[in-house]
A and B are shown apart, each in its own frame.
Chain A
Amino acid sequence: MMSQRSERRGIHLDQSELLCKKGCGYYGNTAWQGLCSKCWREENQRERQKQIQEDWALAERLQREEEEAYASRHQRAQSQPTITPFSKFEERKTKEKSSKVNTVTKFFTPSAKTPPKKDTTSFDTQSSPSPSSSSSRHPPADTDHATREFIDFLKPLKSGREIFKQCRAFTESMVYKRDMGADELSECVQDFYQNLSDRLQTQFKGSTEHVESVMDEVEKYMMTRLYKEVFCPETTDDEKKDLAIQKRIRALHWVTIEMLCVPVDEEIPEVSDSVVKAITDVIEMDSKRVPKDKLACITRCSKHIFNAIKISKKEAASADDFLPTLIYIVLKANPPRLQSNIQYITRFCNPSRLMTGEDGYYFTNLCCAVAFIEKLDGQSLNLSPEEFELYMSGQASPHWPQGAGASSPGSAALSQVHKRLDLLTGLGERQDRVIEKARQLESDLIDWTDEVEQKVQSVLESFPQETHNPTATTASGTTSAAASAIDSDNVENERLPPPLQPQVFAG
């Protein structure tokens, strides 16, 4: 057994990385800190519970502080009849409740009644694993930070505490809705945004600017919390779509600036600089958690695109230049989890930002770019269907001219280089496939040895038992039945002399 294990280590360099760190037997993933998806989710759930408890502690402390401050103020100015801001809001709220059935209230009432009264100070932050992968770049401390910021932002507001309570209760209730479909989750969140902003609208007497600044903070707080639960949820095929578009973009590597009519001249250093920045920004979108921050990445990317066009054309860019250039940038960047990000923004972003403003414009263009890439055919690139097929299948490349025709010696050399490059890319792809297959074989082997090991183990376990207690065999299952068959063979052996004792020979 032992030797078998060490032998296996000899073949597999990092077997520990392949299996879930929890030892549940499933494969782990470095993106999930070496856990399998199931254990990862469980681990997250626990962290979230801790966060919720921390929130309560923070909120309660805040409330105490405010009450103390209020009490001291009250003592000093007893003569002036003042109402606490909080009770004022409550008053208005109950009035509202009677006149309007509010979808949001149903989220608040049940969860708000069960505050976890545990001692949160004993909670040990060190025990939670330190996230290292890109999918969890933000440590839990970040969400605490978001809570603190949110509370700080709300403090000066008349109804700040009430807003915080509602947001926290709602966020908490969402955690228990993770089996809900993505559209329903989105609807819940959008309903919540809508109702809260309506109420704020009344409270701020129509100052839309004020309402939106609060709603931005609400979105930030809530989505920092909910990100892991609702980004690319298991109930959707977002992940499948991510892989599909990624593959599609890879297959379109041959598309040139000319085919898309992109008015950008990358020979100009400042232009290529802007192009690189645009690519970086659109890739960075995946690392943000809050929809608004993701949108900001798209907007930054778009501004760099406008800059690149402006310098290339020496004229301000229009929609006619922008969309093709954005398509080009998306093709070059192949942004990670593109569909998941688009869906997440669509589902959970503040609708007014998404639908009307400048961010919304660029986001919509990104959606168009993705739709274009998905449906793109020869016609959309001014190519014949045959040419398109040849390029897609890799049998030809637009970089090297088919006919020997009008090519100058320089371009001949260049086409040679391109040919070689394409060859290299092809080889690289094949190598990837080989490695992939090797990995598969490796894991198959592990499975197989595990299986054999288990079988041997179970046989070994049942075997000595049966020899000592043959009567038990009839009662137990199939393995013991097999073992009893061996026993019956051994009946003869009982008449044999006892086994030889090992003897030590000196010299």
Chain B
Amino acid sequence: MSAMRVDAKVVMLGKESVGKTSLVERYVHHRFLVGPYQNTIGAAFVAKPIQVGDKVITLGIWDTAGSERYEAMSRIYYRGARAAVVCYDLTDSSSFQRARFWVKELQNCEEHCKIYLCGTKNDLIEGDRSLRQIDYHDAQDFAEEIGAQHFETSSKTGSNVDDLFQKVAEDYNNTAFQYMTEEPGVDLGQKKDSYFYSCCHNN
């Protein structure tokens, strides 16, 4: 098999059923499926080339198992990630608490990982405003506090989904360029990463 070369690792994080898989599915396959198999669509790993200026950046998007029984293992997943899309469900306040937890984890363990805070299922709120449990400005404040980008998306309508991943690719391109000019040939993220298994293993 000829696996596609990937520039950056992007990991999807968030509580079960917030819509991580749907987000990837919408972005990569431009579809949103409802029905008995609705939460099993999409692939676990996708390599997606994105045009950024005159360059093509290939993002490797890592979906994670949603079930809570695997949550402890998520740390192993986000090691070495350049970007994390931390999702919460706009209609579920507990999912926002969970998102805060992931942000803290990332800040502690992965200093080179940029965080993208993503409120999902925006279409539900547009249908019925009373369903909103997370205020836009509260989330925005939190995003600013942690230096993250903030998006509200809908995988059903596709609203803001492309913008989110486009931003991820652009930011990566900028920082990659920055690294190169600052310190030629030194990838700060990498050496530590080579021990990622043994280190996670002891937690």
A residues contacting B by CB (< 8 A) are 100, 183, 186-187, 190-191, 194-195, 198-199, 201-202, 208-209, 212, 261, 263, 299, 303, 306, 313, 315-324, 342-343, 346-347, 351, 354-362, 364-365, 367-368, 371-372, 375, 379-380
- Contact A320/B21 with A190-B194, A355-B190 known, Cβ cut-off 8 Å: yes
Chain A residues contacting B42 (CB-CB under 8 Å) are 316, 318
A346 near B198: Cβ-Cβ < 8 Å: yes
User: What is the bound-complex CA distance between A486 and B189, given in angstroms?
Assistant: 77
Interface residues on B, range: 35 or more
Central interface residue in A212, A375, A380, by most chain B CB within 10 Å: A380
Return B68 CB to nearest CB of chain A, in Å.
10
B194 near A347: Cβ-Cβ < 8 Å: yes
User: What is the bound-complex CA distance between A100 and B184, given in angstroms?
Assistant: 10
Chain A residues contacting B146 (CB-CB under 8 Å) are none
User: What is the bound-complex CA distance between A77 and B185, given in angstroms?
Assistant: 38
Question: What are 12 A-B pairs at a CB distance below 8 A?
Answer: A191-B191, A320-B65, A320-B67, A322-B44, A347-B194, A351-B194, A355-B9, A358-B6, A360-B9, A361-B45, A361-B62, A372-B70
B45 near A358: Cβ-Cβ < 8 Å: yes
- Contact A380/B76 with A342-B197, A355-B193 known, Cβ cut-off 8 Å: no
Number of A-B contacts (CB under 8 A): 140
Chain B residues contacting A372 (CB-CB under 8 Å) are 70, 73
8 A Cβ contacts from B72-131 to A: 72-73, 76-77, 79-80
Chain A residues contacting B4 (CB-CB under 8 Å) are 357-358
B197 near A319: Cβ-Cβ < 8 Å: no
Central interface residue in B37, B43, B47, B63, by most chain A CB within 10 Å: B43
- Check: B187 CB closer than 8 A to any chain A CB: yes
Return A82 CB to nearest CB of chain B, in Å.
30
Pick the contact of B60: A315, A321, A347, A361 (CB < 8 A).
A361
Residues 1-14 of chain B: 1 if any A CB is under 8 Å from the residue's CB, otherwise 0? 10111111100000
Label chain A's interface by main secondary structure: helix
8 A Cβ contacts from B1-43 to A: 1, 3-9, 21, 37, 39-43
Pick the contact of A319: B64, B184, B193 (CB < 8 A).
B64
- Check: B69 CB closer than 8 A to any chain A CB: yes
Chain A residues contacting B6 (CB-CB under 8 Å) are 356-358
- Check: B201 CB closer than 8 A to any chain A CB: yes
A368 near B40: Cβ-Cβ < 8 Å: no
- Contact A368/B73 with A319-B66, A343-B197 known, Cβ cut-off 8 Å: yes
Pick the contact of A299: B3, B69, B185 (CB < 8 A).
B3
Central interface residue in B41, B79, B198, by most chain A CB within 10 Å: B198
Smallest CB gap from B193: residue in A: A355
Residues 171-203 of chain B: 1 if any A CB is under 8 Å from the residue's CB, otherwise 0? 000000000000011110011011111101100
A320 near B40: Cβ-Cβ < 8 Å: yes
User: What is the bound-complex CA distance between A371 and B1, given in angstroms?
Assistant: 28
Pick the contact of A186: B9, B60, B194 (CB < 8 A).
B194
Chain B residues contacting A358 (CB-CB under 8 Å) are 3-4, 6, 45, 47, 60
User: What is the bound-complex CA distance between A130 and B34, given in angstroms?
Assistant: 61
Return B145 CB to nearest CB of chain A, in Å.
29
A318 near B44: Cβ-Cβ < 8 Å: yes
User: What is the bound-complex CA distance between A457 and B191, given in angstroms?
Assistant: 59
Chain B residues contacting A208 (CB-CB under 8 Å) are 5, 7
Return B81 CB to nearest CB of chain A, in Å.
9
Chain A residues contacting B193 (CB-CB under 8 Å) are 351, 354-355
Chain B residues contacting A201 (CB-CB under 8 Å) are 185
Smallest CB gap from A361: residue in B: B45
User: What is the bound-complex CA distance between A98 and B28, given in angstroms?
Assistant: 47
B198 near A371: Cβ-Cβ < 8 Å: no
B40 near A317: Cβ-Cβ < 8 Å: yes
Return B87 CB to nearest CB of chain A, in Å.
13
Return B199 CB to nearest CB of chain A, in Å.
10
